[in-house]
């Protein structure tokens, strides 16, 4: 497995100052709407998850899958304070799989921010996400330029293509390699 961000670093990632560079509302606005089912691998402590839950409203749901239980526990506490915990389902991923087979064909949008490089082998991640997406479903991947070199991101793009996902846009997100895919 790749090097994983320590759980305690999650506190730095939810710092409100981060919004000036990577505002969840601005990043998610073009993609997340009321009533959607959204998959978020690697939500950490919920920097984006809370915004997603607010956007899908009570008719939607967010499935947040992480490999660290402490991240998921903090996410749930933060979501409860914001009144959106009932819209978020948290799942603990295994070392080889996100174990999301029950979602096949049910996800409208998947959002993977600075996480693909930390998940089980990329060759396994993209087929799982692709299977979970509805026909026409979309996946937005953003990887940090500081951790993921261009060649590694190109390899991720190739793995996604092999899983049946097509790049339809390269939206600008500060400090990130990005790709918006469609199933």
- Quick one: pLDDT at residue 16? 64
Task: Report the pLDDT value the prediction gives residue 1, as an integer from 0 to 100.
Answer: 41
In a domain, 1, yes or no: no
Report the distance separating Cα 75 and Cα 52, nearest Å. 13
Across the 183 residues of the chain, what is the mean pLDDT of every consecutive 10-residue run?
55 57 90 98 91 97 93 94 97 88 97 85 85 98 93 95 97 96 98
CATH of residue 95: 3.40.50.150
What pLDDT is stored for residue 94 in this prediction?
84
Residue 181: C-alpha distances to residues 3, 71, 82, 90, 92 (Å): 25, 27, 30, 24, 25
Residue at 85 is within a domain: yes
In this prediction the pTM is 0.88
Tell me whether residue 14 is in a domain.
Answer: no
pLDDT of residue 149: 95
Residue 31 CA to residue 14 CA, distance in Å, equals: 21
Q: Which residue range forms the structural domain that includes residue 55?
A: 31-182
Task: Count the domains in the chain.
Answer: 1
Distance, CA of 115 to CA of 46 (rounded, Å): 13
**Is residue 143 in some structural domain?**
yes
Q: Look at residue 124 in the predicted model and tell me its pLDDT.
A: 84
Residue 3 lies in a domain: no
Tell whether 20 is covered by a domain: no
DSSP 75: H
Would residue 157 count as lying in a domain? yes
pLDDT at 121: 66
In a domain, 73, yes or no: yes
């Amino acid at each position: 497995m790749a090097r994983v961000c320590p759980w305690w670093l999650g506190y730095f990632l939810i710092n409100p100052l981060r919004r000036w560079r990577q505002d969840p509302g601005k990043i998610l606005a073009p993609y997340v709407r009321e009533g959607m089912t959204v998959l978020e691998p690697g939500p950490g402590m919920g920097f984006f998850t809370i915004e997603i839950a607010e956007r899908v409203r009570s008719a939607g749901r967010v499935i947040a899958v992480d490999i660290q239980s402490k991240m998921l526990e903090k996410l749930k506490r933060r979501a409860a304070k914001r009144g959106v915990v009932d819209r978020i389902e948290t799942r603990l991923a295994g070392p080889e799989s996100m174990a999301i087979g029950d979602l096949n064909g049910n996800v409208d949008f998947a959002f993977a921010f600075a996480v693909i490089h930390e998940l089980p082998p990329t060759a396994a991640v993209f087929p799982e996400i692709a299977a979970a997406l509805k026909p026409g479903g979309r996946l937005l991947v953003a990887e940090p330029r500081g951790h993921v070199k261009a060649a590694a991101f190109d390899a991720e793009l190739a793995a996604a293509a092999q899983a049946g996902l097509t790049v339809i846009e390269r939206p600008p997100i500060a400090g990130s390699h990005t790709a918006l895919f469609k199933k």
